Amino acid sequence: MSLTTYWLEHAWLGTHVEPGVVLEAGADGRIAALRTGVETPPPGAEALRGLTVPGLANAHSHAFHRALRSLVQVGSGTFWTWREFMYQVAQNLTPDTYFALARAVYAEMALAGITNVGEFHYVHHAPGGAPYADPNAMGEALIEAAAEAGIRITLLDTAYLSSGFGEAPNPHQLRFSDGTADAWAERVSALKPREHALIGAAIHSVRAVPAGQLATVARWAEERQAPLHVHLSEQTAENEACRAAHGRTPTQLLADHGVLGPRTTGVHNTHLTDGDIALLGGTTTGTCMCPTTERDLADGIGPARQLQHAGSPLSLGSDSHAVIDLLEEARAMELNERLRSRTRGHWTANALLTAATGGGHAALGLPDAGRLEAGALADFTTIALDSVRTAGPLPRLGAETAVFAATASDVRHTVVGGRHIVRDGSHTLVPDVPSALSESIAALRA
């Protein structure tokens, strides 16, 4: 078996930083062996200087939202006014323009150390709602974009059927809707996983899927043992509308229809009651926090600490891509909690890195990723310990340095399946990522 040997100057092994680690990646894209106590690079090994951690998992992405960066920072407004800008961008997407944009966005993620993305995908059809000749043309564009950018993707194909608790989709939302959950299930069943791509499911929100059709989506995911994600209680207005329509919270409504469980992840989980927290924790339903988007949209600070203590596993996402930086997401989760509670140290650096790595991969259906050990996928990233942000601390404090000082700009290498995707800060497959982003975003304004 052909092996690629890497020498890791320092490696985070989940509980501590170990100096001098040799990692052998097999032709199958998995870690064949891991050896510690190797002080210098063996002959023929690729030396990765800095701190190597498992690949970061971006558990919640809307790739086309990257085109909104800065545009939505003009003036003021709310989540609901921001949504109008989002609709305008969505209307200009085609399979070709979405492929070009997503390829650039996923390349930006690779530069930030992300090896796997959960794409919460709901722009399915042409404007007006007519299906493309291939009804999954938009999803296939995203899968191919991830392949060309060199990262893994879990395509969370999203049921989005209503503008709110039984109301018909508005004109902007027609291209999101399959009409019924059964029609959604028929379409998404034609999508096939491949080496770099898994197919999962999503319920956009309780306002976007009628209560009587929630179980159809949950059943589709259950039959395939696929991950199932849902935007949950991101806005107080959603909670109030759900109570008015159903006399219960969104979390309770999902529980009543069999949506909660260990393969399900609630995204945001911001405005929850104590009973909601107990339901999510008791069913081991996951929580994906997206702090940079939640603060950008003024959503609020979700009860991540209470959720984890109740039994809800944590993951992280960049969501609307106000920035793409999973280290910042991890840092923000802790710092937000400090601001709210006026106490420090709710999570250790190890715990925050776990949410950004193993927790995210598990939420995306890849429990065999997110750790540096034999048998795991050979997906990892190296963070510089000698930049202006990270120089100075002792290497044994590498986890603390990565979470509380480093940024995506400090990522030096990204390896996926044993293959170098980012080398010395440059993408090996997409030579000019900034130009790719500029050109693909400009095409949406044409």
**DSSP line for 62-123:** -GGGGGGTTGGGSS---HHHHHHHHHHHHHT--HHHHHHHHHHHHHHHHHTTEEEEEEEE--
Tokens of 135: 């009804």
Model confidence at 154, in pLDDT bands (50, 70, 90)? very high
pLDDT at residue 253 is higher than 80: yes
Neighbours of 183 (CB within 10 A): 16
- Select from 343, 342, 356 the least CA-distant residue to 402: 356
Alpha helices in 116-261 (DSSP H): 137-149, 181-188, 211-224, 236-246, 250-256
Interatomic CA distance for residues 272 and 204, integer angstroms: 18
pLDDT above 60 (res 1): no
Share of the chain above pLDDT 70, in %: 97
Specify the pLDDT at position 57.
98
Q: What tokens does 238 get?
A: 């959603």
pLDDT in tens, 116-129: 999 999 999 999 99
Q: Choose the catalytic residue: 62, 229, 268, 271.
A: 268
Contact 380, 151 (CB under 8 A): no
Residue 202 three-state SS: strand
pLDDT the model gives residue 48: 98
Give the mean model confidence (pLDDT) for residues 383-393.
Answer: 98
In the predicted structure, residue 83 carries a pLDDT above the cut 70: no
Task: Give me 74's structure tokens.
Answer: 């003009």
User: Is the predicted pLDDT of residue 438 greater than 70, yes or no?
Assistant: yes
Cα dihedral sign, 310-314-320-326: positive
- At 52 the pLDDT is 98
Rounded Cα distance, 8 and 382, in Å: 8
For residue 107, is pLDDT > 60?
yes
48, two tokens: 């990765």
Residue 80 has pLDDT above 60, yes or no: no
- For residues 173 and 438, the answer to whether their CB atoms sit within 8 Å is no
Give residue 241's pLDDT band: very low, low, confident or very high (50, 70, 90). Answer: very high
Find the mean pLDDT for residues 223-227: 98
| Distance in angstroms (rounded) separating the CA atoms of residues 126 and 73 | 28
Task: Return the higher-pLDDT residue of 78 and 172.
Answer: 172
Count CB-CB contacts under 10 A for residue 219.
15
Q: Could you tell me the two tokens for 281?
A: 């924790």
Mean pLDDT for all residues in the chain: 95
On the question of pLDDT at 398 being above 70, the answer is yes
pLDDT at residue 91 in the model: 86
Shortest CA distance to 250 belongs to which of 198, 305, 203?
203
What pLDDT band is residue 211 in, cutting at 50, 70 and 90? very high
- The whole-number average pLDDT for the span 248-267 is 98
Q: Compute the average pLDDT of residues 16-22.
A: 98
Dihedral (C-alpha) 402, 407, 408, 414: value to the nearest 10 degrees? -20
Which amino acid would we find at residue 348? T
At 2 the pLDDT is 81
Calpha distance 330→58 (Å, rounded)? 11
Read off the pLDDT of residues 305-318 as tens digits, 9 standing for 90 and up.
999 999 999 999 99
Is it the case that residue 235 has pLDDT exceeding 70? yes
Confidence of residue 395 (pLDDT cuts 50, 70, 90): very high
pLDDT at position 446, please? 61
| pLDDT(420) > 60 | yes
Q: The sheet that has 286-289: what strands, in order across it?
A: 56-61, 114-121, 152-159, 197-203, 228-232, 264-268, 286-289, 314-316
What DSSP state is assigned to residue 167?
Answer: B
Residue 428, pLDDT score: 98
Question: What pLDDT does residue 71 have?
Answer: 72
What pLDDT does 90 receive?
Answer: 80
Is 268 an active-site residue? Answer: yes
Q: What is the DSSP string of 353-418?
A: HHIIIIIHHHHTT-TT-SS-STTSB--EEEE-SSSTTT-SS-GGGHHHHHHHT--GGGEEEEEETT
* Angle, CA 256 vertex, CA 252 and CA 257 arms, to 5°: 120
Q: What percent of the chain has pLDDT over 90?
A: 90
| Residue 220 burial class via C-beta count within 10 angstroms: exposed 0-12, middle 13-18, buried 19 and up | buried
Run of H or E residues at 308: helix 304-310
Confidence of residue 388 (pLDDT cuts 50, 70, 90): very high
pLDDT band at 166 (very low <50, low <70, confident <90, very high): confident
pLDDT at 342 over 90: yes
